[in-house]
Structure 1
């Protein structure tokens, strides 16, 4: 069984000063994936990235709350993380296994940080990792556009680290 993992779709990233590329489409895609997961009885996990005290995303900051555009229904597992990998110091691997999940479907933000790290670590921990090609995003950087970053990571991660599929092609 695959679990859906949604990374860092939180107020500070969705509504922050650096606008994520294709954010509206991403939110629609993630909501549709949650519907698919619920229909199949697959667990849904949402990570919230928390920073150190004094940072804009310190514990308790409203910027760390899940973006209101996500249609949560109360059965999801929401957890905090402090590192790019959602597995690092979170208990996520044990929680996935307790739900019977042998695979994880990765979505969210930001592509070059948390999405990349989580895909790489999932496979190392023995999970079948799937990255939704149109289910992650970031913002432009001085070196690359967000569109280029997403395309680069889809190409780089596909195969050695995970299977990359489009949302409409995925079923739980």
Structure 2
């Protein structure tokens, strides 16, 4: 069984000063994946990135709230993380195993940080990692535009670190 893992779709990133590339499409894709997971009875986990006390994303900050554009129905597991990998210093791996998940479908923000780190860690921990090719994003940087960052990570991660699929092709 596969679980859906949604990374950092939180107010401070989605509605912050640097809008993620294709943000509206990403929100639609994540909602569609959550619907597919629910229809199949697959667990849904949402990670929120939390920073240290005194930072803009300190515990309890409104910037860490899951964005209201995601259709949460109450059966999802929302958890906090403090490192780029959703597995580092969290109970995610144990919770996935406890619900019988052998694989994790990864979507969300930001491609070059948390998406990348989580894909690599999932495979290292023995999970079948599936990255939704059109289900992650980031913002432009001073070195590279977001489209290139996403394309680069899709090409780099596919194979050794995860299996790459398009959202419309994935079935739980």
TM-score (norm 2): 1.00
Kindly report the root-mean-square deviation, in angstroms, between the aligned alpha carbons of the 2 structures: 0.3
**Residue ranges of structure 2 left out of the alignment (5+ in a row):** none
Q: Paired residues, what number?
A: 172
Match of 1:104 in 2: 104
Q: Measure how far apart 1:117 and its partner are.
A: 0.1
Q: Measure how far apart 1:132 and its partner are.
A: 0.1
Q: Measure how far apart 1:70 and its partner are.
A: 0.2
- SS in structure 1 opposite 2:47? strand
- SS in structure 1 opposite 2:161? coil
Alignment of 1:76-87 (within 5 A): 76-87=76-87
- SS in structure 2 opposite 1:107? strand
Q: Measure how far apart 1:74 and its partner are.
A: 0.1
User: 2:45, 2:29 → 1: CA distance?
Assistant: 16
User: 2:2, 2:144 → 1: CA distance?
Assistant: 32
User: 2:59, 2:73 → 1: CA distance?
Assistant: 24
- SS in structure 1 opposite 2:38? helix
Q: Measure how far apart 1:80 and its partner are.
A: 0.1
User: 1:65, 1:99 → 2: CA distance?
Assistant: 25
Q: Measure how far apart 1:162 and its partner are.
A: 0.2
Matched, 1:4 2:27: no
User: 2:65, 2:58 → 1: CA distance?
Assistant: 11
Q: Measure how far apart 1:20 and its partner are.
A: 0.4
User: 1:105, 1:6 → 2: CA distance?
Assistant: 8
User: 1:75, 1:98 → 2: CA distance?
Assistant: 16
Matched, 1:136 2:139: no
User: 2:26, 2:88 → 1: CA distance?
Assistant: 25
User: 1:56, 1:22 → 2: CA distance?
Assistant: 24
Q: Measure how far apart 1:38 and its partner are.
A: 0.3
- SS in structure 2 opposite 1:18? coil
**Residue ranges of structure 1 left out of the alignment (5+ in a row):** none
Matched, 1:122 2:117: no
User: 2:19, 2:127 → 1: CA distance?
Assistant: 32
- SS in structure 1 opposite 2:78? strand
TM-score (norm 1): 1.00
